Amino acid sequence: MGISSRFAQEHHPVQESTLSDLSRTDLQSILRYMLLTRGLEERLETLFKQGQIVGGLYRSLGQEGTAVASAWALGDGDWLAPSIRDMGALFVRGLDVRDMLRQYTARGTSLCVGKDSTTHFTVPELGLLGPISPLGTQLCVLNGVALAFKQRSQPNVCMTYQGEGASRTGASHEGFSLAAALDLPIVVWLEHNRWSFGTQSHKESAVADWLDTARMYGVPAESVDGNDVLAVYSASRTAVDRARRGDGMTILVAETYRMLGHAQHDAQKNAPPVELEEWRTRDPIARCEAELRDLGTTDEGLETIRDEVSLELTEAVDDVLSEPPPEGEDALTRVYDASELDPSVPWTRGPVSGYGDRTTHVVVVS
């Protein structure tokens, strides 16, 4: 409730560019969101080293372009379902960086009120469906959102992201297969970042061309340079328009690279230096800046963007660190929905009286 009202004000609709190529202002915003993502992750890393982060921290260094430029192709009322590595897409859709900080620092003010972390939140007001840890499941659930669009003949689309590792799960296959069978308005980014946790993906699969894994479902599929925001945007744009027209799902394979370990605890020491070197030269931010220079944006102009982002982040970190953690008893709330409960139903009364210790709760409603 509190959440939704907050977003009521904050949510700034993303303008829909009608042409499949981007204006310079579009591109500047895309750069801004990429910088915001990388900058935030760097702050989070510092906080992690200071012991201010609860649990794991997952970076998207080198992949910011796929998340940001793809989300840019969505319009009002569309839904987006990020993996834990697609933070950038969330900001494009109107999420406040504070909300990611609150998640990672387990604040009571976080979207999950401290009950879950990373991008594991669902915010209908912003059209965001979070993942759960078990991989492959999120696509299956997003199918239901797309199904609702279809049933209401509402011209909206869904976009989601999935790693090549996750694509080996049964849930992923069932999700793709059902989306294709029901012709759902969904765009799926298969993020081929060469890694799955601590293992290089080619060591865990016989797939030669990841595009084949997309083709099998009988829907349009395309392979894209995931570190080129222009390519990512236009592929997304085409797929989104196709879905919006009612022509169903598209699968896009992002060729990219996970430049850091799976999480902070993983030094990625098995990464071939040459590979890292090669991909460092394809950094999406550097390439986007080059594009903008070609379009006439000055170094001062780029400086300004960097400074604004940095300022925004400093303020956000200060704000969030001063926010309170949750109260222990809040662990008991919202297991079930209390609003529609009939008080004459015994169990809704909650804690069993008797022993007076908190372990005798039978069922708890909010």
Partner 1 sequence: MSELRETTYLEAIRDAMAEEMRRDDRVFMLGEDIGVYGGAFKITEGFLDEFGPDRIIDTPISEAAIVGAAIGAAHMGLRPIAEMQFIDFIAPAFDMIVNFAAKSRYRTGIGAGIVIRGPCGGGSRSGPFHSQNVESYFANVAGLKMVAPATARDAKGLLTAAIRDPDPVLFFEHKFLYRRVKEMLPVGEEIVVPLGVARTHREGSDLTIVTYGGMLYKSAEAAEKIADEDGATVEVIDLRTIRPLDTDAIVASVKKTGRLLIVHEAARFGGFAGEITAQVCEQAFEWLDAPVRRVTALDTPVPYAPELEDYYLPQVDDITAAARWLLAY
Ligand X SMILES: Cc1ncc(C[n+]2csc(CCOP(=O)(O)OP(=O)(O)O)c2C)c(N)n1
Site for its own copies in 167-196 (CB under 8 A): 168-174, 177, 180-181, 183
CB of 251 or CB of 313, closer to ligand X: 251
Q: Where are the beta strands (DSSP E) in the chain?
A: 79-81, 158-163, 186-192, 195-196, 199-200, 221-225, 250-255
Give me the least distance between CB of 43 and its own copies, in Å please: 38
CB of 141 or CB of 364, closer to ligand X: 141
Paired tokens of 300: 């001062």
Q: Which of residues 329-348 bind its own copies (CB under 8 A)?
A: none
> Hey, is 32 helix, strand or coil?
helix
Give the interface with ligand X as residue ranges (CB under 6 A).
83, 85, 133-135, 163-166, 169, 191, 193, 195-197, 258, 262
Candidate list 26, 45, 183, 204; residue touching partner 1; CB under 8 A: 204
Kindly state whether residue 202 participates in binding partner 1, applying the rule CB under 8 A. no
Binding segment toward its own copies, per CB under 8 A, in 8-16, 107-115, 155-163, 166-174: 166-174
Q: Which of residues 311-340 bind partner 1 (CB under 8 A)?
A: 325-332, 334-337, 339-340
Candidate list 62, 65, 131, 163; residue touching Mg ion; CB under 5 A: 163
What angle, rounded to 10 degrees, do the helices at 284-294 and 229-244 form? 90
Contact mark string toward its own copies, 62..81, x via CB under 8 A = --------------------
CB of 181 or CB of 290, closer to its own copies: 181
Identify which of 185, 179, 184, 187 has the alpha carbon closest to the alpha carbon of residue 221. Answer: 187
Query: Which of Mg ion, partner 1, its own copies, none has residue 157 at its interface (CB below 5 to 8 Å by kind)?
Result: none
d(Cα 68, Cα 90) in Å, to the nearest integer? 8
Give me the least distance between CB of 307 and partner 1, in Å please: 33
CB 36 within 8 A of CB 96: no
CB 251 within 8 A of CB 217: yes
d(Cα 38, Cα 278) in Å, to the nearest integer? 20
Query: Which of ligand X, its own copies, partner 1, none has residue 144 at its interface (CB below 5 to 8 Å by kind)?
Result: partner 1
Query: Which of its own copies, Mg ion, partner 1, none has residue 193 at its interface (CB below 5 to 8 Å by kind)?
Result: Mg ion
Q: How far lies 103's CA from each of 54, 98, 312, in Å?
A: 9, 9, 18
CB of 102 or CB of 262, closer to ligand X: 262
Q: Residue 188's beta-bridge partner residues?
A: 160, 251
CB 107 within 8 A of CB 113: no
d(Cα 128, Cα 79) in Å, to the nearest integer? 6
CB of 122 or CB of 238, closer to partner 1: 122
Given CA atoms 230, 312, 281, 85 in this order, what sign does their dihedral have? Answer: negative
Q: Phi, psi at residue 80, to the nearest 5°?
A: -130, 135
Candidate list 193, 213, 223, 227; residue touching Mg ion; CB under 5 A: 193
Report the interface residues with its own copies, using CB under 8 A: 136, 168-174, 177, 180-181, 183, 204-208, 212-213, 215-219, 248
Report the interface residues with Mg ion, using CB under 5 A: 163-165, 193, 195-196
